[in-house]
Structure 1
């Protein structure tokens, strides 16, 4: 009797999943189109095409391929980094064109050559995103050359030289004729950090006077991950910009500003955690002191906006003089205390909030002083910049050695792409001889290291190609004038690159229109749109088959490890505090910063893995809430640790020291057990009684909790809060097994 109901439920789940995927295909990213990049890529593509066609050069196609692909690599940054990325891609593409052409002349070599070459370049992802892009371009160039074999070895060499010629034009266009100021990307990235900090401060100002209990949680979920990603992006951009320059002026000042933005972010986290712990608004003749906090936070946001302006414009400007700090709150606190409206714990909390506001103002002053000196002459860098010195580079072969195991996602993906592309080459050569390389290009473009993104990209690629092919058929039916078509191709090439940040499907649509019209223009065959559609469908099917059947590991298998890493990063962050408690001093700043950054990155990785889990076509929709709770309260636990780290000292009496030591040992063991339980799919062990361990509910001659509460009521309240966050994590972990596929 239950079978029809189960089938109906399954049908509803499938319909909802397909609806979610349809929304993902049509979703636009909240960014602007890359108009300048699109126009520059169109010039890099169309000028070699026009010149090659006008001069009847045999390698006109390769001139266009080299120009388009090399311009595609230019992502901004310093001249040194851009030249290295574009030059490396040009050499890799030229070599791929030569070897692909030679292999295409000997069909018996085509299959093994494809397997080795494509797998090797797909494995280049061990060196990062830039190397992965270069590897994809090299593999794509190879399969194009394989599908368009030359008549002789000298002709294959000419193809490689033509690729270099088109690439040289793209580099000239990007680095000389259309230059970008080398520090502009770094300044914009650092300014974006202060802009994100301003948004966070404004959100806190609104939330501190609100009545919604879940407002703080929503704010953390919205802002913390975004700001940490922005900080890491700015760190990477600045490192790439400074590499090889040797100067000590703007670069080091931007490092100081980046560290100041990070410090302001940490200060706001600690402040928010303390504000959330306040009780309901205080009513009476004096009013609620949180109004003073809300005003100070708005002023803090305005100061961060001033920093955005100063960093972006990098010109001589008058230094703003902010007037906010913790004094207004201290005045309100004094009035309330004089009237006897505050308990001892409330007084301690409000005093700590005033301290945090004052420290936040001090960090903002450092940032303002540094921002106003950005355009000045080089000077000795302040101490914070020294902590951000570039890391020493590891051996070139270290990443390769680290990933030479089937447990490596990069190696598994490289083997998967290599084998699937090899099959695509065989299928194209046997069944689709007309422009068969479109099949292999589709495979290389669609396949991603993870199942969810591959499935989404396949949908976008196929739909974009079908619509673009239909548009190409419509255009070819009424417009066949070569000059008009060349102008249209320029516009569509510019559009396809401009729209990549918004939606990959739109890029595919205009890319299909561009290359089909160009191929038809060169061959005179006005039926290639249908060929493009059919070849894309074949390539998409092969890509999905390779993804699902070749060493595929679902995100449900990866996510527990990512979540366990985030919980262990929480444990390491707390361990820095525990070591400071044992020493009886403040936490080590260097160790604290490293642990905080590691935690931020681990949490981002876990959240990204969870999003990929939801995007997989076979994910289970039931019982997702425990996983979301684990992710959310991993950040909440870190926020309380950040608040504890802001304390300048803790009581040092033997009784308090022993209570803190017991608490630290129990917390460390509980976090490790929780991470291990999540990783291995078991129920976590019961939590210890933290109130008994630390003694805040144990009767003593002086009353409950005298060992800690009498000397540090605020510290006791913060530790209680930390124990509650762990309890929520533990409860969610006991229910998480049913949420994993």
Structure 2
């Protein structure tokens, strides 16, 4: 019995639409990464330390609570060894950092500032060892900036180190030994999100097809938002899976299974791109149930696959059944909808085969040897030497952070700002190697701090007794950790009241909860702005490519993909698949940069409207090429040498034109009417590229 009607098919999820809207404006929202179990576990670690501090009347144990919280943030997920090195390393580094900086701070600001500078510089160099080490380094910086605000005598500093070690050690034991959550769950959620996004894309395709609208702005919006959202989701999943060691026991098996799911998602994505291109000019009238049955069944199959991917042992039979039903309903259909459905069914069938027990175990040793050879080539000492070279962007960023944060500490200490470490901590976490990625982080930090500060002030008034404050800390800690990979704004929104309530609970004589909340919001805003200014002033790391270069790269990548499709009979399918992915990545990179420039108010000067028109023609070219690719797979024909030659020449000339190199119109002219969709799409790309180049040339003359 078919499952074609078991899921809604006329719209995508509201949360998915919100995520795509934010992604189009350079703000990440990944709802698939909500980690409820991780949040409850971290809340348990923090709440126990706070309870002990309150019961024993020992405010210094607030350090144990913060150490436990930070240790949970240091957990990168993945294999046990990776997690142990990250969490254990943070516990040890934080223990030394807390006691040493606190003891030096007692000697006065003249000693504290240089010590803080050195600690920040060294911790920021951890970026050279990868994302997990980068997170540990940032958290160690947070420990340093808080410790410098707690000057202590040597014995008290030693006690502080012991408290920190107890809190962080407790979190390490809880996370790695006592309360074990499947380490690959975040990666599985990331891969499952691909199928959720594809399901939303199929649902909105069906809705647009049923609306009868042709050449409508809604089709353009659909193509722009969904293609970017799916491509971003696929690349996030690749990054999550890339942390697993290739060919090593269970981790290697999980990695291979998830990579197979990603590749199947890529093939389905290609089919939906082709379908969107083909349906737009033909969406007239109301389609019958028979017309829409393949799309409805595809949505059901994608929903089922998304659920199974998240399981540690996916049910191959259920996904195989969905693929079989999809193939069955597609066979009577002779149009592109049916062909796309069959391609998607085959992709799901191949996925179930990849989930079967491995039949070639001998491949693992070679992968393991390759990985070990890579590890031997880049030793920790050699990586550190590379990071410390004068031309290293990592060293420049470390120096930038150390200077800005130390200056912030000096000024706030001179002005005797209450809770000044919140300002220095904000500066640490918002500063990114590139200014273009720092300002969205700054905005999210400020919005989250102000919103969370308002919520904290309300809770401080509404929950007047310590018992109620303690009860509120648990859900706040759980929400903070659960949302850390979903949205930075949401993370800071819950982090702010958590820190405020802990401070109000354990230091009630300092100031009221409302005063702490106001100080938190103000200091975070101040530190975020200072951090942004530091990134813009001190050795600003510009994006490696200008916008025109990114746009030209997108033109060249999409033209190269179309060229390979035109010569499909002479090109392996794997090479075409790689070119399609490269075209999607290049178009997404150009669109992200364009949207950021729009938000910066540079629409007219950079002629971003003309750039948007060019990107739109590239999306249509990719759609036409994908339709042709599907036709080639089902009915291959002889390659046209003349068309191949024109596309190859146009690829280089269009890229040069967009970069500002004068190109005569005759170099891009072609004879006769464009014979098919690819040729017509190339014609539109040529015209849009000329319009953009003319606008940029006129701008240069004025």
Partner residue of 2:132 out of 130, 133, 153? 130
1:421 to 2:405 alignment: yes
Structure 2 counterpart of 1:563, from 543, 551, 556:
551
Distance 1:66 1:436 in 2: 19
The equivalences for 1:382-393 within 5 A come to: none
Partner of 1:663: 646
CA change 1:435–1:575 in 2 (3 A) is same
Task: Give the drift of 1:148.
Answer: 1.4
Pair 1:86-2:46 in alignment = no
> For the structure 1 residues 413 and 627, does the alpha-carbon distance in structure 2 shift closer, same or farther, using more than 3 Å as the test?
farther
Show the counterpart of 1:592: 576
Match of 1:70 in 2: 71
Listed one character per residue, the Cα deviations across residues 14-41 of structure 1 (whole Å, up to 9, x for unaligned) are xxxxxx99xx999988679654444333
Q: Secondary structure at the match of 1:329?
A: coil
Counterpart check, 1:608 vs 2:612: no
What is the aligned counterpart of 1:225 among 223, 228, 231? 228
Q: Which residue number in structure 2 is paired with residue 246 of structure 1?
A: 249
Which residue matches 2:688? 728
CA-CA distance at 1:644 after TM superposition: 4.3
Equivalent residue for 2:622, pick from 633, 638, 648: 638
CA contact (8 A) 2:555 2:651 kept: no
Counterpart of 1:266 in structure 2 is 270
> What secondary structure does 2:167 align onto?
helix
Query: What are the residue-to-residue correspondences of 1:151-300 with 2, within 5 Å?
Result: 151-152=153-154, 155-208=156-209, 210-214=212-216, 215-241=218-244, 245-247=248-250, 249=253, 251-276=255-280, 294-300=292-298
The higher relative CO (CA closer than 8 Å, separation ≥ 6) is in 2
- 1:144 paired with 2:146, answer yes
Output the CA distance in 1 between the equivalents of 2:140 and 2:151.
16
Contact kept? 1:140, 1:441, Cα under 8 Å: yes
Q: Which of 654, 659, 667 is matched with 1:688 structurally? A: 667
**Structure 1 CA distance for aligned equivalents of residues 570 and 260 of structure 2:** 22
Q: CA deviation at 1:141?
A: 0.7
CA change 1:609–1:98 in 2 (3 A) is: farther
Asked if the contact 2:449–2:520 (Cα under 8 Å) also holds between the matched residues in 1, the reply is yes
Alignment of 1:475-494 (within 5 A): 481-494=465-478
Q: Distance in 2 between matches of 1:557 and 1:463?
A: 30
The alpha-carbon distance between structure 1 residues 718 and 389, as it changes in their structure 2 partners (threshold 3 A), is: farther
Tell me if structure 2 keeps the 8 A contact 1:255–1:388: no
Q: 1:525 aligns with which of 510, 526, 530?
A: 510
Residue 400 of structure 1: CA displacement?
Answer: 6.8
* Secondary structure, counterpart of 1:691 in structure 2: coil
Task: Determine helix, strand or coil for the equivalent of 2:249.
Answer: coil
**Which of these two proteins has the greater Rg computed from alpha carbons?**
1
Distance 1:252 1:437, change over 3 A: closer
Is 1:329 aligned to residue 333 of structure 2? yes
What is the CA deviation profile of residues 76-130 of structure 1, one whole-angstrom value per residue up to 9, with x for unaligned ones? 4444443343233333323432442354244434333333332343344455543
Q: Tell me if the contact between 1:256 and 1:367 (Cα under 8 Å) persists in the aligned partners.
A: yes
Partners of 1:642 and 1:197 in 2: CA distance: 16
Q: 1:275 deviation in Å?
A: 4.7
Q: 1:119 to 1:479 in 2, by over 3 A?
A: same
**CA distance in structure 1 between the aligned counterparts of 2:344 and 2:455, rounded to whole angstroms:** 57
- Using a 3 Å threshold, how does the CA distance of structure 1 residues 675 and 162 change in structure 2: closer, same or farther? farther
Q: 1:619 to 1:726 in 2, by over 3 A?
A: closer
Contact 2:549 2:659 in 1 (8 A): no
Unaligned residue ranges in structure 2 (runs of 5+): 1-20
Q: How far 1:139 moved relative to its partner?
A: 0.8
Contact 1:28–1:502 (8 Å) recurs in 2: yes
TM-score, normalised to structure 1, is 0.75
Residue 485 of structure 1 contacts residue 517 of structure 1 at CA under 8 Å; is this kept in 2? yes
> Counterpart in 2 of 1:110?
112
Which 10-residue stretch deviates more, 122-131 or 391-400?
Answer: 391-400
Cα deviations across residues 225-267 of structure 1 (Å, max 9, x unaligned)? Answer: 2212222222233343555742465543443232222122223
Question: Cα–Cα, structure 1 residues 359 and 387, in superposed 2: closer, same or farther, change >3 Å?
Answer: farther
Contact 2:187–2:237 (8 Å) recurs in 1: yes
Cα 1:541–1:328 shift into 2, 3 Å: closer
Q: CA deviation at 1:62?
A: 2.9
Q: Rate the CA distance shift 1:407–1:633 in 2: closer, same or farther, 3 A.
A: farther
Write the mapping of 1:356-435 to structure 2, written as runs, cut at 5 A. Answer: 357-370=341-354, 373=356, 377-380=357-360, 395=378, 413-432=397-416, 434-435=418-419
CA contact (8 A) 1:205 1:295 kept: no
- The answer to whether the 8 A contact 1:119-1:414 is kept is yes
Q: Spell out, residue by residue over 1:258-309, the C-alpha distance to the aligned partner (whole angstroms, 9 max, x if none).
A: 2222122223333444555x6686x9xxx99x98664333333333333334
Alpha-carbon contact 1:271-1:353 (below 8 Å) kept: yes
Task: Please list every run of 5 or more consecutive structure 1 residues that lacks an aligned counterpart in the other structure.
Answer: 1-19, 331-349, 698-704, 706-712
1-structure distance, mates of 2:186, 2:361: 21
Q: What is the correspondence of 1:465-480 to structure 2 with a 5 Å cutoff?
A: 465=449
TM-score (norm 2): 0.78
Classify 1:113/1:25 alpha carbon distance in 2 versus 1 (closer, same or farther; 3 Å): same
Query: Structure 1's 674 and 427: CA in aligned 2 closer, same or farther, altered over 3 A?
Result: same
